[in-house]
Structure formats: structure tokens, C-alpha cells
Amino acid sequence: MAEPLFSRYDSADYLKTEADIIAYLDAVMAEGGDDPALLAHALGVVARARNVSKLARDTGMSREGLYKALSGEGNPSFATIAKVAKALGLRINFRPDQPVA
């Protein structure tokens, strides 16, 4: 069997530092901050970059439940998003889209 020409791309492979993760999430919010499925998917990518098993323990959710909720196909509640963010050591905050004069 021939080897594939391209390997599978996964953003999680490139999230090595906290700065990488923050830059990634900021870019996701800048591009599609009004799309909750995109945010859920982005948190799933961050979860894969870290340790999904540990995240499942920290949130009290099953690994399968996390994968489903954060797949982009799931429809997690804001409470789930907040719980996952907190378990990842992230804080959800709001700031003006444009600088305040």
C-alpha cells in the first residue's frame, strides 16, 4: 500500500505552549466568535493538545461526552463550555471589540 502524500493536519499538534493556545483561541473568536459550534470545536482542539483523560476527570464528564460536546457537532451548554474552560485553566472574559476612546 502506498504511503499517503500528505499527513493528517491537526491544529492540536501545534499548540505546545499557553501562548499558542491563547493565540489560537483569540483567532477563533476573531474569525467566528458568534458561532458557538466553532468555539466548542476549538476547545476540543485545545483538549486534545492537552490530556483529554485528565480533562474528563477534572470536569466530571466522560471522555466520550467531552469528545461529543466539543466536536463542533455537539451542542454544549454554556455551563459545559465554562466548566471545560476552567478545567483547562482558562478564564472566559469579555472586552470591547474596538478600543474604547
For residues 59 and 84, is the Cβ–Cβ distance under 8 A?
yes
pLDDT at site 85: 92
pLDDT, greater one: 100 or 10 = 10
- The yes-or-no verdict on residue 97 having pLDDT over 80 is no
The reported pTM is 0.79
Where along the chain do its domains lie?
30-87
Average pLDDT for 57-81: 87
- The yes-or-no verdict on residue 31 having pLDDT over 70 is yes
Write the pLDDT tens digit of every residue in 37-67.
Answer: 888 899 999 998 988 888 999 999 999 988 8
pLDDT, greater one: 95 or 83 = 83
Residue 35, amino acid: D
Q: What cell was used for 70?
A: 466539543
For residues 9 and 51, is the Cβ–Cβ distance under 8 A?
no
